[in-house]
A and B are shown apart, each in its own frame.
Chain A
């Protein structure tokens, strides 16, 4: 079978839902991006940040106000959805109520006039992967919500030749156990067939475990694109710092005191960032709670805090302490003895991120 997958280019795309008004509000601010063939992408962001709009633009349900979409260098901006060869799965199950499970799964292939044998083969394969084999002849409307969502998913996966499978929070209605297994299945499908998968979610764990590349969005803006490691260690904006990781990144207001140092209250913190141009400016210092270490004595980059709470999460302990008005959270190993009252925390300079205007310096 001919495999027709594509590199997807989004070039200077922007979109507004009220283009005729004098000051249109943009659901998507101008951006450009390339989705490589056969990779797994996750679009991560809070509700209403433009994730779904982006998917709809790629699948052709929404025509972007500006910009161009290219599949393998061929412009498809004006191509209709049905001619684009994209599969899309929505947040809530959409099934063809009047058809059986088999007919539901076969529908995308029938619309594209595949041979009967081919349809049978593909439906069998997909229904095996999704555990739907025993329901094939039952009416689709009789199934439970998560089974229905599997049908939606199955219709997305049944065509091997799609340019990409776009999934809009597809696992919301599915119970956690099955969710985990399905995510792994999707990964396997991606590895086996080299289908580009794009996965929209607001759940960072889902994004992190699923995707090779994560696209973080906020208010119609793409804030950061990168590997899970980059997002975690060097968030490009304070938003990414807050949004990714649990607990959120520790972020403190501070002033730049020298080329590489910032000051919080009277404590000086050394960082690896070049702060020459920001002398005496107000900036923010961010550090992950995972990177803060316990220190035995006061030294450079340590801060004395008053311990207010210790939470045991089983695999780690989360310390919450106060330095003046600032709340600091730190994850430490479970075995480490925690002194009562006051303790010193060490901020490794290479892990300190400095943000000016909410952007990483």
Chain B
């Protein structure tokens, strides 16, 4: 029985690993192929099945004038939009979450939990619902097809995540911690940034990670709210897919766009496994 269980366990783990890793390997291998190796026959292994070439990668940094696709600019656009929006969302979201966790709000029938739910509800509706309002909003204030406009929209998308994670986190930080800080002579603001905030770094990291992931992978709003002036990475990658799909550069750009998330995941995993997420008190 246990043997069967162990067998099944490893079988499914292996199956799942192949399922997850295979597309990456496929993309890595494809990114080094040329037109011939992709289209003439099935090839897998470099040097044996096909002669690897860096052409697929070179195209990515060549300017369009020279026949390249230049994903460098969209790449930095994406980094800028994601990081700015995440940072602002974390700052505002953390403040909102702290207030929601520590103070009691009453407005008619609205209580703290209702306000928290209001934040989260922004993520519940399908993005398509928001697309037209955002479009009109941005065109009214003249921020359509601009980085700033995207930052504004992404803050709306990312802040609920930050609020949600941080409310939960602050609720698990005993209020005695704040009270002790007050007794020790901090005013409420000092208590927040000298005592509560340093204790909440693990929560901030988790929230930050989610914001970065959700900001980085968004295609929908980047697609709808930009045209020619500004392009974000996901849009640019998809745009590679023309009448003759350049599978090699498409694969290379896909790998390049996933890379930052893999780095983020590694760093965060290291940090979290050090045990810093464990409870601050008791």
Chain A: residues with CB nearer than 8 A to chain B? 59-61, 80-82, 86-88, 90, 92-99, 107-108, 111-112, 141, 145, 148, 152, 155
Contacts and interface: CB of A to CB of B under 8 A. Distances in A.
B282 A82 contact: no
B180 interface: yes
A86 B187 CA distance: 14
* B180, B190, B280, B281: most-surrounded residue (chain A CB, <10 A): B180
Nearest to B179: A61
A111 B190 contact: yes
A133 B183 CA distance: 24
A112 B176 contact: no
B76 to A, nearest CB: 34
B282 A111 contact: no
Contact of B182 (A81, A92, A93, A145): A81
24 contacts: A59-B183, A60-B182, A61-B183, A80-B187, A81-B182, A81-B183, A82-B187, A87-B183, A88-B179, A90-B179, A90-B180, A92-B176, A94-B174, A94-B176, A96-B195, A96-B198, A96-B199, A97-B281, A98-B198, A99-B198, A107-B184, A108-B185, A111-B186, A155-B180
A9 B156 CA distance: 51
B179 A92 contact: no
A60 B280 CA distance: 25
Contacts of A92: 174, 176, 281-282
A21 to B, nearest CB: 13
Interface in B52-93: none
B235 interface: no
A19 B201 CA distance: 37
Given A80-B187, A97-B199, A148-B282, 7 more contacts: A60-B182, A61-B182, A81-B179, A82-B185, A90-B176, A90-B179, A96-B198
Nearest to B180: A94
Nearest to B183: A88
B152 interface: no
Interface in B232-282: 280-282
Given A98-B198, A98-B199, A93 B282 contact: yes
A81 B188 CA distance: 10
A86 B184 CA distance: 8
B180 A88 contact: yes
B206 interface: no
Contacts of A152: 180
* B179, B184, B281, B282: most-surrounded residue (chain A CB, <10 A): B184
A51 to B, nearest CB: 15
A94 B198 contact: no
Given A81-B179, A97-B199, A141 B187 contact: no
